[in-house]
């Protein structure tokens, strides 16, 4: 992004940087400056629980027999 884009949306960009931890690169006069969070959030902490995708007990998945489906 350019310095002008950063200036126009600085608070939104900083908030997004803090929430996601994804570095932001700004280009100015042919050089790149990177903004990073000092202590980025853990990736696993950003996962959203989606209960609707596993029907039943997740422990039952461990005991499924996939030998008929698996092909080398």
Q: Is the pLDDT of residue 13 over 90?
A: yes
Calculate mean pLDDT across residues 14-39: 91
Residue 49 lies in a domain: yes
Domain membership of residue 34 as a residue range: 3-63
Residue 12 lies in a domain: yes
Number of domains into which the chain is organized: 1
Residue 10 lies in a domain: yes
Residue 41 lies in a domain: yes
Q: Is the pLDDT of residue 9 over 80?
A: yes
Distances from the Cα of 27 to the Cα of 1, 6, 36, 45, 47, angstroms: 6, 10, 15, 30, 31
Residue 18 lies in a domain: yes
Calculate mean pLDDT across residues 47-59: 76
Residue 71 lies in a domain: no
């Amino acid at each position: 992004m350019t310095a002008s884009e950063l200036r126009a949306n600085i608070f939104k960009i900083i908030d997004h940087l803090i929430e996601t931890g994804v570095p932001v690169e700004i280009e100015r006069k042919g050089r790149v400056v990177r903004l990073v969070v000092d202590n980025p959030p853990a990736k696993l902490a950003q996962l959203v629980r989606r209960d609707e995708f596993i029907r039943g007990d997740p422990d039952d998945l461990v005991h499924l027999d996939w030998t008929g489906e698996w092909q080398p």
